[in-house]
Chain A
Protein backbone atom coordinates (compact mmCIF):
# COMPACT_ATOMS: atom_id res chain seq x y z
CA UNK A 1 0.00 0.00 0.00
CA UNK A 2 1.36 3.41 -0.98
CA UNK A 3 2.23 5.86 1.74
CA UNK A 4 0.05 8.95 1.38
CA UNK A 5 0.66 12.57 2.14
CA UNK A 6 -2.11 14.42 4.01
CA UNK A 7 -4.56 15.83 1.48
CA UNK A 8 -5.67 19.21 2.78
CA UNK A 9 -6.84 21.88 0.37
CA UNK A 10 -3.50 23.60 0.30
CA UNK A 11 -0.69 21.91 2.08
CA UNK A 12 2.75 23.18 1.49
CA UNK A 13 5.68 21.20 2.70
CA UNK A 14 8.59 23.49 2.55
CA UNK A 15 12.03 21.99 2.63
CA UNK A 16 15.04 24.11 3.28
CA UNK A 17 18.34 22.42 2.60
CA UNK A 18 20.74 24.88 4.13
CA UNK A 19 24.49 24.87 3.68
CA UNK A 20 25.28 23.57 7.12
CA UNK A 21 21.98 22.77 8.67
CA UNK A 22 19.48 20.61 6.89
CA UNK A 23 16.10 21.45 8.21
CA UNK A 24 12.62 20.46 7.29
CA UNK A 25 9.80 22.83 8.03
CA UNK A 26 6.26 21.67 7.60
CA UNK A 27 3.70 24.34 7.05
CA UNK A 28 0.25 23.00 7.72
CA UNK A 29 -2.16 25.86 7.88
CA UNK A 30 -5.44 25.71 9.74
CA UNK A 31 -8.73 27.48 9.22
CA UNK A 32 -8.12 29.33 12.44
CA UNK A 33 -5.52 31.47 10.72
CA UNK A 34 -8.12 32.94 8.42
CA UNK A 35 -9.20 35.54 10.95
CA UNK A 36 -5.67 36.86 11.11
CA UNK A 37 -5.32 37.38 7.39
CA UNK A 38 -3.61 40.54 6.28
CA UNK A 39 -4.12 40.39 2.56
CA UNK A 40 -2.99 43.27 0.41
CA UNK A 41 -5.46 43.10 -2.41
CA UNK A 42 -3.80 45.94 -4.28
CA UNK A 43 -0.81 43.90 -5.43
CA UNK A 44 -0.11 41.31 -8.03
CA UNK A 45 2.33 38.45 -7.64
CA UNK A 46 4.82 37.24 -10.18
CA UNK A 47 7.81 34.94 -10.43
CA UNK A 48 11.02 36.72 -9.53
CA UNK A 49 14.10 36.70 -11.72
CA UNK A 50 15.45 33.63 -9.93
CA UNK A 51 15.91 30.44 -11.93
CA UNK A 52 13.75 27.49 -10.97
CA UNK A 53 14.23 23.83 -11.88
CA UNK A 54 11.60 21.25 -11.10
CA UNK A 55 10.84 17.56 -11.08
CA UNK A 56 7.39 16.05 -10.60
CA UNK A 57 5.88 12.68 -9.82
CA UNK A 58 2.15 12.07 -9.65
CA UNK A 59 0.77 15.04 -7.74
CA UNK A 60 3.94 16.11 -6.02
CA UNK A 61 6.55 18.51 -7.17
CA UNK A 62 10.02 19.49 -6.13
CA UNK A 63 11.32 22.87 -7.11
CA UNK A 64 14.95 23.93 -6.87
CA UNK A 65 15.78 27.60 -6.68
CA UNK A 66 19.19 28.08 -8.29
CA UNK A 67 19.82 31.42 -6.61
CA UNK A 68 19.20 30.30 -3.04
CA UNK A 69 20.23 26.65 -3.43
CA UNK A 70 17.06 25.59 -1.64
CA UNK A 71 14.74 22.75 -2.53
CA UNK A 72 10.99 23.18 -2.04
CA UNK A 73 8.44 20.41 -1.90
CA UNK A 74 4.99 21.33 -3.18
CA UNK A 75 1.75 19.45 -3.49
CA UNK A 76 -0.37 19.72 -6.61
CA UNK A 77 -2.06 22.97 -5.54
CA UNK A 78 1.22 24.65 -4.66
CA UNK A 79 2.68 23.62 -8.00
CA UNK A 80 -0.46 24.85 -9.77
CA UNK A 81 -0.09 28.28 -8.16
CA UNK A 82 3.48 28.53 -9.42
CA UNK A 83 2.34 27.46 -12.89
CA UNK A 84 -0.33 30.20 -12.93
CA UNK A 85 2.26 32.77 -11.92
CA UNK A 86 4.82 31.59 -14.46
CA UNK A 87 2.16 32.15 -17.13
CA UNK A 88 1.35 35.70 -15.98
CA UNK A 89 1.31 37.92 -12.90
CA UNK A 90 -1.93 37.59 -10.94
CA UNK A 91 -3.60 39.27 -8.00
CA UNK A 92 -4.50 37.47 -4.83
CA UNK A 93 -8.18 37.43 -5.83
CA UNK A 94 -7.38 36.00 -9.25
CA UNK A 95 -5.26 33.26 -7.74
CA UNK A 96 -7.90 32.45 -5.17
CA UNK A 97 -10.48 32.17 -7.89
CA UNK A 98 -8.21 29.85 -9.87
CA UNK A 99 -7.65 27.58 -6.89
CA UNK A 100 -11.26 27.36 -5.78
CA UNK A 101 -12.42 26.70 -9.33
CA UNK A 102 -10.14 23.67 -9.45
CA UNK A 103 -10.90 22.44 -5.95
CA UNK A 104 -14.68 22.72 -5.44
CA UNK A 105 -14.60 21.01 -2.08
CA UNK A 106 -12.30 23.51 -0.42
CA UNK A 107 -13.37 25.94 2.25
CA UNK A 108 -12.82 29.43 0.85
CA UNK A 109 -11.63 30.87 4.17
CA UNK A 110 -9.12 28.10 4.57
CA UNK A 111 -7.99 28.47 0.98
CA UNK A 112 -7.54 32.22 1.40
CA UNK A 113 -5.52 31.74 4.57
CA UNK A 114 -3.36 29.06 3.00
CA UNK A 115 -2.85 31.06 -0.18
CA UNK A 116 -1.88 34.14 1.79
CA UNK A 117 0.71 32.21 3.78
CA UNK A 118 2.04 30.50 0.67
CA UNK A 119 2.50 33.81 -1.15
CA UNK A 120 4.09 35.50 1.86
CA UNK A 121 6.52 32.62 2.28
CA UNK A 122 7.53 32.51 -1.35
CA UNK A 123 7.98 36.28 -1.46
CA UNK A 124 10.19 35.95 1.63
CA UNK A 125 12.19 33.23 -0.13
CA UNK A 126 12.70 35.44 -3.16
CA UNK A 127 10.84 33.14 -5.54
CA UNK A 128 7.88 35.52 -5.95
CA UNK A 129 7.76 39.28 -5.95
CA UNK A 130 4.76 41.48 -5.36
CA UNK A 131 4.17 44.48 -7.53
CA UNK A 132 1.47 47.16 -7.72
CA UNK A 133 -1.78 46.07 -9.33
CA UNK A 134 -2.56 47.34 -12.80
CA UNK A 135 -5.10 50.11 -12.83
CA UNK A 136 -8.57 48.99 -13.96
CA UNK A 137 -8.68 52.05 -16.13
Chain B
Protein backbone atom coordinates (compact mmCIF):
# COMPACT_ATOMS: atom_id res chain seq x y z
CA UNK B 1 0.00 0.00 0.00
CA UNK B 2 1.32 3.45 -0.91
CA UNK B 3 0.79 6.76 0.84
CA UNK B 4 -1.66 7.92 -1.77
CA UNK B 5 -3.81 4.83 -1.16
CA UNK B 6 -4.74 6.49 2.13
CA UNK B 7 -7.00 9.49 2.18
CA UNK B 8 -5.18 12.72 2.91
CA UNK B 9 -6.91 13.04 6.28
CA UNK B 10 -5.88 9.54 7.33
CA UNK B 11 -2.31 9.99 6.07
CA UNK B 12 -2.01 13.31 7.88
CA UNK B 13 -3.47 11.84 11.05
CA UNK B 14 -1.02 8.91 10.98
CA UNK B 15 1.94 11.15 10.20
CA UNK B 16 1.22 13.26 13.27
CA UNK B 17 0.53 10.28 15.56
CA UNK B 18 3.04 9.12 18.18
CA UNK B 19 3.95 6.04 16.14
CA UNK B 20 4.25 7.93 12.85
CA UNK B 21 4.41 6.23 9.46
CA UNK B 22 6.98 3.71 8.26
CA UNK B 23 7.99 4.27 4.65
CA UNK B 24 10.17 2.19 2.36
CA UNK B 25 12.43 4.43 0.31
CA UNK B 26 14.91 2.36 -1.65
CA UNK B 27 16.80 0.06 0.73
CA UNK B 28 15.86 2.08 3.81
CA UNK B 29 12.85 2.19 6.11
CA UNK B 30 12.15 5.65 7.47
CA UNK B 31 9.87 6.17 10.42
CA UNK B 32 8.40 9.61 9.90
CA UNK B 33 6.50 11.78 12.36
CA UNK B 34 5.38 15.24 11.33
CA UNK B 35 3.92 18.02 13.41
CA UNK B 36 3.97 20.42 10.52
CA UNK B 37 0.69 20.47 8.57
CA UNK B 38 2.04 22.29 5.50
CA UNK B 39 4.75 19.69 5.10
CA UNK B 40 2.32 16.80 5.49
CA UNK B 41 0.26 18.11 2.59
CA UNK B 42 3.33 18.43 0.38
CA UNK B 43 4.59 14.97 1.20
CA UNK B 44 1.18 13.55 0.40
CA UNK B 45 1.59 15.08 -3.05
CA UNK B 46 5.29 14.47 -3.73
CA UNK B 47 5.99 11.23 -1.83
CA UNK B 48 2.69 9.69 -2.86
CA UNK B 49 4.14 6.54 -4.46
CA UNK B 50 6.30 5.35 -1.57
CA UNK B 51 5.01 2.11 -0.07
CA UNK B 52 4.13 1.92 3.60
CA UNK B 53 6.45 -0.46 5.40
CA UNK B 54 3.89 -1.64 7.90
CA UNK B 55 5.27 -4.21 10.28
CA UNK B 56 8.88 -3.50 9.31
CA UNK B 57 11.21 -5.37 11.63
CA UNK B 58 13.92 -2.73 11.32
CA UNK B 59 13.60 1.00 10.96
CA UNK B 60 16.78 2.57 9.68
CA UNK B 61 15.97 6.14 10.63
CA UNK B 62 13.46 7.78 12.97
CA UNK B 63 12.71 11.22 11.61
CA UNK B 64 10.57 13.86 13.22
CA UNK B 65 9.85 17.39 12.05
CA UNK B 66 8.05 19.77 14.36
CA UNK B 67 7.09 23.34 13.71
CA UNK B 68 6.50 25.63 16.65
CA UNK B 69 3.31 27.71 16.73
CA UNK B 70 3.74 31.26 15.47
CA UNK B 71 5.43 32.89 18.44
CA UNK B 72 4.20 36.34 17.63
CA UNK B 73 3.35 38.61 14.80
CA UNK B 74 6.95 39.68 14.17
CA UNK B 75 8.74 36.46 14.89
CA UNK B 76 9.62 33.75 12.43
CA UNK B 77 8.03 30.31 12.61
CA UNK B 78 10.69 27.65 12.87
CA UNK B 79 10.85 23.95 12.29
CA UNK B 80 13.00 21.53 14.24
CA UNK B 81 14.32 18.34 12.73
CA UNK B 82 14.96 15.27 14.91
CA UNK B 83 16.94 12.16 13.99
CA UNK B 84 16.44 9.34 16.47
CA UNK B 85 15.37 11.89 19.05
CA UNK B 86 18.38 14.16 18.57
CA UNK B 87 18.55 17.51 16.81
CA UNK B 88 21.60 17.60 14.56
CA UNK B 89 20.60 20.90 12.93
CA UNK B 90 19.74 24.34 14.25
CA UNK B 91 16.19 25.64 13.99
CA UNK B 92 15.32 26.48 10.42
CA UNK B 93 12.62 28.68 8.96
CA UNK B 94 9.34 26.77 8.75
CA UNK B 95 8.72 27.85 5.18
CA UNK B 96 11.81 25.82 4.12
CA UNK B 97 10.42 22.60 5.58
CA UNK B 98 10.61 20.38 2.51
CA UNK B 99 14.18 21.29 1.42
CA UNK B 100 15.21 20.86 5.04
CA UNK B 101 13.59 17.44 5.28
CA UNK B 102 15.23 16.30 2.05
CA UNK B 103 18.67 17.57 3.14
CA UNK B 104 18.11 15.96 6.50
CA UNK B 105 17.45 12.58 4.88
CA UNK B 106 20.62 13.00 2.80
CA UNK B 107 22.52 13.67 6.00
CA UNK B 108 21.10 10.57 7.67
CA UNK B 109 22.00 8.34 4.74
CA UNK B 110 25.49 9.79 4.34
CA UNK B 111 26.21 9.44 8.07
CA UNK B 112 24.99 5.92 8.59
CA UNK B 113 24.99 3.81 5.45
CA UNK B 114 28.57 2.64 5.47
CA UNK B 115 27.60 -0.90 4.57
CA UNK B 116 27.31 0.57 1.05
CA UNK B 117 29.72 2.61 -1.05
CA UNK B 118 28.05 5.99 -1.49
CA UNK B 119 29.03 7.93 -4.60
CA UNK B 120 27.94 11.52 -4.93
CA UNK B 121 26.23 10.90 -8.22
CA UNK B 122 22.98 10.72 -10.09
CA UNK B 123 22.21 7.29 -11.52
CA UNK B 124 19.75 6.39 -14.28
CA UNK B 125 19.10 3.01 -15.89
CA UNK B 126 17.89 1.51 -19.16
CA UNK B 127 17.96 -2.15 -20.18
CA UNK B 128 19.61 -3.10 -16.90
CA UNK B 129 22.67 -0.88 -17.36
CA UNK B 130 23.16 2.40 -15.60
CA UNK B 131 24.80 5.70 -16.39
CA UNK B 132 26.52 7.01 -13.28
CA UNK B 133 26.80 10.80 -13.30
CA UNK B 134 29.22 11.91 -10.56
CA UNK B 135 29.46 15.66 -10.28
CA UNK B 136 30.31 18.54 -8.01
CA UNK B 137 27.63 21.06 -7.02
CA UNK B 138 26.69 23.41 -9.83
CA UNK B 139 27.78 21.06 -12.60
CA UNK B 140 24.25 20.39 -13.80
CA UNK B 141 23.85 16.84 -12.46
CA UNK B 142 20.28 17.19 -11.21
CA UNK B 143 19.11 19.03 -14.30
CA UNK B 144 20.56 16.37 -16.57
CA UNK B 145 19.14 13.62 -14.37
CA UNK B 146 15.66 15.17 -14.42
CA UNK B 147 15.84 15.44 -18.20
CA UNK B 148 17.00 11.83 -18.60
CA UNK B 149 14.20 10.37 -16.50
CA UNK B 150 11.72 12.16 -18.73
CA UNK B 151 13.46 10.74 -21.81
CA UNK B 152 13.10 7.00 -21.27
CA UNK B 153 15.54 6.39 -18.43
CA UNK B 154 14.61 5.02 -15.00
CA UNK B 155 15.63 7.04 -11.97
CA UNK B 156 17.78 5.20 -9.48
CA UNK B 157 18.82 8.29 -7.58
CA UNK B 158 19.76 11.91 -8.07
CA UNK B 159 22.13 12.28 -5.12
CA UNK B 160 23.52 8.89 -4.04
CA UNK B 161 25.05 6.24 -6.22
CA UNK B 162 24.58 3.39 -3.75
CA UNK B 163 26.85 0.46 -4.57
CA UNK B 164 26.56 -2.89 -2.84
CA UNK B 165 30.08 -4.14 -2.12
CA UNK B 166 29.17 -7.83 -2.39
CA UNK B 167 28.36 -7.71 -6.09
CA UNK B 168 28.82 -4.13 -7.30
CA UNK B 169 25.08 -3.70 -7.97
CA UNK B 170 23.61 -0.18 -7.93
CA UNK B 171 20.69 0.14 -5.52
CA UNK B 172 17.81 2.48 -6.38
CA UNK B 173 16.92 5.29 -4.02
CA UNK B 174 14.30 7.22 -6.04
CA UNK B 175 13.92 10.47 -4.15
CA UNK B 176 12.78 13.95 -5.09
CA UNK B 177 15.18 15.79 -7.42
CA UNK B 178 15.92 19.30 -6.13
CA UNK B 179 16.23 21.74 -9.00
CA UNK B 180 17.91 25.02 -8.30
CA UNK B 181 17.27 28.49 -9.67
CA UNK B 182 17.25 28.61 -13.50
CA UNK B 183 17.09 24.81 -13.75
CA UNK B 184 13.48 24.87 -12.57
CA UNK B 185 12.24 26.64 -15.67
CA UNK B 186 14.63 24.66 -17.87
CA UNK B 187 12.99 21.39 -16.78
CA UNK B 188 9.47 22.85 -16.91
CA UNK B 189 10.17 23.69 -20.52
CA UNK B 190 12.03 20.46 -21.37
CA UNK B 191 9.55 18.09 -19.72
CA UNK B 192 6.09 19.66 -19.34
CA UNK B 193 4.83 16.36 -17.93
CA UNK B 194 7.28 16.50 -15.01
CA UNK B 195 5.55 16.96 -11.68
CA UNK B 196 7.38 19.81 -9.98
CA UNK B 197 6.47 20.96 -6.49
CA UNK B 198 6.36 24.55 -5.24
CA UNK B 199 9.41 26.82 -5.29
CA UNK B 200 11.17 27.59 -2.01
CA UNK B 201 12.85 30.96 -2.16
CA UNK B 202 15.88 32.15 -0.23
CA UNK B 203 17.24 28.78 0.85
CA UNK B 204 20.99 28.43 1.33
CA UNK B 205 21.11 27.12 -2.24
CA UNK B 206 18.84 29.78 -3.72
CA UNK B 207 15.43 28.88 -5.06
CA UNK B 208 14.63 25.16 -4.89
CA UNK B 209 11.80 23.17 -6.44
CA UNK B 210 11.52 19.38 -6.34
CA UNK B 211 10.73 17.01 -9.18
CA UNK B 212 8.65 14.03 -8.10
CA UNK B 213 10.23 10.71 -9.10
CA UNK B 214 8.20 8.97 -11.80
CA UNK B 215 5.80 6.38 -10.37
CA UNK B 216 7.46 3.61 -12.36
CA UNK B 217 10.86 4.41 -10.81
CA UNK B 218 9.40 4.13 -7.33
CA UNK B 219 7.51 0.93 -8.16
CA UNK B 220 10.75 -0.63 -9.42
CA UNK B 221 12.92 0.54 -6.54
CA UNK B 222 13.91 -3.01 -5.64
CA UNK B 223 15.41 -3.66 -9.10
CA UNK B 224 19.15 -3.10 -9.03
CA UNK B 225 21.23 -2.16 -12.07
CA UNK B 226 24.71 -2.87 -13.36
CA UNK B 227 27.15 0.00 -13.88
CA UNK B 228 27.51 0.69 -17.59
CA UNK B 229 29.03 4.12 -18.00
CA UNK B 230 30.63 6.81 -15.91
CA UNK B 231 29.80 10.22 -17.37
CA UNK B 232 31.14 13.29 -15.57
CA UNK B 233 28.83 16.15 -16.60
CA UNK B 234 29.53 19.85 -16.47
CA UNK B 235 27.11 22.48 -17.63
CA UNK B 236 28.87 25.47 -19.20
CA UNK B 237 26.74 28.32 -20.55
CA UNK B 238 26.96 28.57 -24.32
CA UNK B 239 29.39 25.69 -24.69
CA UNK B 240 29.18 23.32 -27.63
CA UNK B 241 28.58 19.71 -26.64
CA UNK B 242 31.72 17.72 -25.87
CA UNK B 243 31.45 14.04 -24.93
CA UNK B 244 35.00 12.71 -24.68
CA UNK B 245 36.53 9.47 -23.41
CA UNK B 246 38.49 9.70 -20.19
CA UNK B 247 41.44 7.73 -18.93
CA UNK B 248 40.24 5.12 -16.45
CA UNK B 249 42.82 6.15 -13.89
CA UNK B 250 41.50 9.71 -14.05
CA UNK B 251 37.92 8.45 -13.72
CA UNK B 252 38.96 6.38 -10.70
CA UNK B 253 40.37 9.42 -8.95
CA UNK B 254 37.29 11.50 -9.68
CA UNK B 255 34.95 8.79 -8.43
CA UNK B 256 37.01 8.18 -5.29
CA UNK B 257 37.44 11.83 -4.35
CA UNK B 258 33.77 12.50 -4.94
CA UNK B 259 32.42 9.53 -2.92
CA UNK B 260 30.91 10.16 0.50
CA UNK B 261 32.67 7.29 2.24
CA UNK B 262 35.58 6.09 0.07
CA UNK B 263 38.04 6.42 2.94
CA UNK B 264 35.68 4.83 5.47
CA UNK B 265 35.43 1.58 3.52
CA UNK B 266 39.17 1.49 2.78
CA UNK B 267 40.32 -1.47 0.72
CA UNK B 268 36.73 -2.44 -0.06
CA UNK B 269 36.23 0.94 -1.76
CA UNK B 270 39.49 0.73 -3.64
CA UNK B 271 38.68 -2.67 -5.08
CA UNK B 272 35.04 -1.84 -5.73
CA UNK B 273 35.76 1.42 -7.54
CA UNK B 274 38.50 -0.37 -9.48
CA UNK B 275 36.06 -3.06 -10.64
CA UNK B 276 33.40 -0.50 -11.53
CA UNK B 277 35.76 1.70 -13.53
CA UNK B 278 37.14 -1.38 -15.24
CA UNK B 279 33.63 -2.47 -16.27
CA UNK B 280 32.47 0.95 -17.45
CA UNK B 281 33.28 3.23 -20.34
CA UNK B 282 34.24 6.61 -18.90
CA UNK B 283 33.45 9.99 -20.44
CA UNK B 284 33.47 13.66 -19.64
CA UNK B 285 30.46 15.63 -20.85
CA UNK B 286 30.41 19.38 -21.26
CA UNK B 287 27.03 20.71 -22.33
CA UNK B 288 24.82 23.73 -22.44
CA UNK B 289 21.88 22.34 -24.43
CA UNK B 290 19.87 19.58 -22.74
CA UNK B 291 18.44 18.16 -25.98
CA UNK B 292 21.93 17.73 -27.40
CA UNK B 293 23.20 16.14 -24.20
CA UNK B 294 20.33 13.65 -24.05
CA UNK B 295 20.78 12.77 -27.72
CA UNK B 296 24.52 12.20 -27.28
CA UNK B 297 23.99 9.94 -24.27
CA UNK B 298 21.27 8.10 -26.11
CA UNK B 299 23.57 7.40 -29.06
CA UNK B 300 26.42 6.41 -26.80
CA UNK B 301 24.39 3.89 -24.86
CA UNK B 302 22.36 2.54 -27.78
CA UNK B 303 25.59 1.70 -29.58
CA UNK B 304 26.50 -0.50 -26.61
CA UNK B 305 23.03 -2.07 -26.52
CA UNK B 306 23.15 -3.08 -30.20
Contact = CB atoms under 8 A, between A and B. Distances in A.
B245 A71 contact: no
A22 interface: yes
B18 to A, nearest CB: 38
The secondary-structure label for the interface of chain B is helix
A2 B278 contact: no
Interface stretch (A35-43, A52-60, A85-93, A113-121): A52-60
Nearest to A59: B249
A53 B253 contact: no
The secondary-structure label for the interface of chain A is strand
Interface residues of B, number: 21
A22 B253 CA distance: 11
Given A17-B263, A22-B263, A53-B267, A3 B250 contact: yes
Interface string B237-250: 00000001111111
A-side interface size class: 20 to 34
Contact of B274 (A22, A62, A66, A69): A62
A15 B254 CA distance: 11
A19 B263 contact: yes
B182 to A, nearest CB: 29
Contacts of B267: 53, 64, 66
A73 to B, nearest CB: 6
Nearest to B247: A3
A5 interface: yes
A22 B257 contact: yes
Given A3-B244, A3-B246, A57-B248, A15 B266 contact: no
A61 B278 CA distance: 13
B247 A2 contact: yes
A33 interface: no
B263 A62 contact: no
A66 B256 CA distance: 16
B252 interface: yes
Interface in B258-277: 262-263, 266-267, 270-271, 274, 277
A17 B256 contact: yes
Contacts of B277: 57
Contacts of B262: 17, 22
A134 interface: no
A66 B268 CA distance: 10
B270 A53 contact: yes
Contacts of A57: 247-249, 277-278
13 contacts: A2-B244, A2-B247, A3-B250, A4-B247, A17-B263, A19-B263, A53-B271, A55-B252, A62-B270, A69-B263, A71-B270, A73-B249, A73-B253
Interface of A: 1-5, 15, 17-19, 22, 24, 53, 55, 57-58, 60-62, 64, 66, 69, 71, 73
